[in-house]
Amino acid sequence: MTTHALVRGSPTDLRVPPVSADEDNPFDAMTARLDRAAARLELDPGIYQILRHPERQITVAVPVRMDSGAIEVFTGHRVVHNTARGPGKGGIRFDPRVSLDEVSALAAWMTWKCAVVDVPFGGAKGGVLCDPFSMSPGELERLTRRYTSAIIDGLGPDSDVPAPDVNTNEQTMAWIMDTYSMHVGHAVPAVVTGKPLAIGGSLGRREATGRGCMIVTREALAHLGMSVKAATVAVQGFGNVGSAAARQLSRAGARVIAIGDKTGALYNPRGIDVDEAVAWVRRHGTLEGYVKGTTLTNDELLTLEVDVLVPAALENVITTKNAPNIRAKIICEGANGPTTAAADPIVEDNGVFVIPDILANAGGVTVSYFEWVQNRAGYAWTENVVNARLEETMVRSFREVLELSRSRRVSMRTAAYMLAMSRVAAVHELRGVYA
Ligand code: NAD
């Protein structure tokens, strides 16, 4: 696939637009970064307009018979941002804070993420406004199946392939796969990724995002002349991404000195036993009650003096308010959108090396792509093969972004957007506009 085909602007092209007054709006945050990168590229203005617009936004009503016998109607969204390079790809989240703006931003981030690691997918995202923690497994299954049937016309291995995201998991993917398969009349494992192994999930998928975070962090440390062996790490969020990133970094020899989740944070300068903390969360659901260190607030965790900070929980945790106090040398963005666009220049001016989300957490979609390939080939790879190919993809992608960042003298984030936009734009130029 073409890489730098359209990267031909010069620094004099820079026209950085103002950042939205609403620092927390994720769609504004995404377009602000897009605009910054576009200002460095000589994109055809028409193609740039295509890249700024989601291809399809669907909002659906999802009626569910609750255990009480009453019917409740939930709202769901599915946004396909761009399918020029391949089927839309992106997770589904169940959360009361889901909004069309957020889902649209997350869908666009998926387009850029897939392009950064050069997997042949576009970007999509979905969400249902609900509080999954107050719902029974039966209610969640009915919600998932009804939402799937409401968006089913757009789904398919060649058109739109969901995956788990916040508060959805392998079981949710199994229900989606079954609902879709019942509609078409035969088993279609490739319609979702992040499935249980028994129905076509991939070895290595569960740890893939965290493993990818470890790989790019190791590369960033080496670039800065540091070693992962002596590095200190703080991780915010101890779910799928945060716990796997902490575990992988700890296995690589780093000292994880702080971890946190929605119940609070924990600090131990001698190093936290990550496997023990993971086992605690598996038994108890959260870190609450795990008292092997000093307690911290989440904001204190974010501003600790560490070599590596991994925000792996939510959007908008590094803002103009706390960015001046960040003392980490490297930020590896495990979560999507943890830094606001307005905070970007503060962090950069302080000399923090940021591995942007669309690169840092791309290990998950990379192994999702491997899962889709295995499903379509009807042939399962060993975990070693999956991990070796993930390693190759993450190292190559990190080096491509770093190289562009150095040659164009832009931040890693702007370089990642430039690389991604140039790849998607090149495909639009070649395919042309269907009339
Ligand atoms: P998860 O639900 O498994 O874990 C989220 C973690 O964040 C939990 O430990 C939770 O307690 C914590 N958290 C929630 N609110 C918090 C708060 N206010 N302060 C501190 N911690 C808080 O979700 P996940 O799958 O690990 O996803 C986390 C982030 O990574 C999201 O932004 C998601 O979009 C992104 N992401 C996930 C994947 C993946 O493969 N799961 C891939 C790429 C990006």
pLDDT in tens, 271-284: 999 999 999 999 99
Other C-beta atoms within 10 Å of 320: how many?
14
| Ligand 1 contact via 167 beta carbon (within 6 Å) | yes
Please give the pLDDT value at position 97.
93
Tell me the pLDDT tens digit for each residue of 56-101: 999 999 999 999 999 999 999 999 999 999 999 999 999 999 999 9
Closest Cα partner for 334 from 314, 305, 306, 307? 314
Is residue 12 scored above 60 in pLDDT? no
* Smallest CA separation from ligand 1 atom 43, residue: 361
* 311 in contact with ligand 1, CB cutoff 6 A: no
Greatest pairwise CA separation for the chain in angstroms: 64
pLDDT band at 13, cuts 50/70/90?
A: very low
Q: Is the CB of 209 inside a 6 Å radius of any atom of ligand 1?
A: yes
Q: Is 109 in the pocket of ligand 1 (CB under 6 A)?
A: no
Q: 94: Cβ below 6 Å to ligand 1?
A: no
- Cα(335) to centroid of ligand 1, in Å? 6
Distance CA(371)–CA(205), nearest Å, equals 8
What atom of ligand 1 comes closest to residue 261's alpha carbon? 21
Residue ranges with strand state E in 152-269? 160-164, 232-236, 255-261, 264-267
Catalytic entry in 89, 113, 125, 329: 125
Average pLDDT of the residues in 290-313: 96
Of 15-24, 109-118, 278-287, least confident by mean pLDDT is 15-24
Q: Which amino acid is at 403?
A: E
Alpha carbon distance 201, 158 (integer Å): 18
Residues 6+ apart with CB under 8 A from 283: none
Is residue 334 lining ligand 1, measured as CB closer than 6 Å? yes
The H or E element containing residue 81 is: strand 71-82
Task: State residue 422's pLDDT score.
Answer: 96
In 10 A of CB 64, how many CB atoms?
Answer: 22
Q: 305 C-alpha to center of ligand 1: Å?
A: 23
Please tell me the predicted confidence (pLDDT) of residue 25: 83
Q: Which amino acid is at 17?
A: P
DSSP H/E element including 30: helix 26-38
Please confirm, yes or no, whether 195 is among the known catalytic residues: no
pLDDT in tens, 208-218: 999 999 999 99
Angle, to 10 degrees, between the axis of helix 363-377 and the axis of helix 208-223?
A: 130
| Cα distance between residue 85 and residue 99, in whole Å | 26
Residue 230 has pLDDT above 90, yes or no: no
Q: How far does the centroid of ligand 1 lie from the alpha carbon of residue 382, in Å?
A: 27
- 166 within ligand 1 shell (Cβ under 6 A): yes
How many CB atoms sit inside 10 A of residue 82's CB? 26
Cα–Cα dist 226/255, whole Å: 14
* Residue % of the chain over a pLDDT of 70: 95
Backbone region of residue 203 per phi and psi (left: phi > 0; alpha: psi in -120 to 50; beta: other values): beta
Calculate what percentage of the chain has a pLDDT beyond 90.
89
Query: Tokens at residue 144, please?
Result: 């998932």
Q: Tell me, what's the pLDDT at 36?
A: 86
Q: What is the pLDDT of residue 5?
A: 35
How far is the C-alpha of 301 from the C-alpha of 309, rounded, in Å? 9
Q: For the chain, what is the mean pLDDT? A: 93
Atom number in ligand 1 closest to CA 338: 32
Give the global pTM.
0.93
For the segment 429-434, the average pLDDT, to the nearest whole number, is 96
Distance, CA 182 to ligand 1 centroid (Å)?
31
Q: Each residue of 361-415: pLDDT tens digit?
A: 999 999 999 999 999 999 999 999 999 999 999 999 999 999 999 999 999 999 9
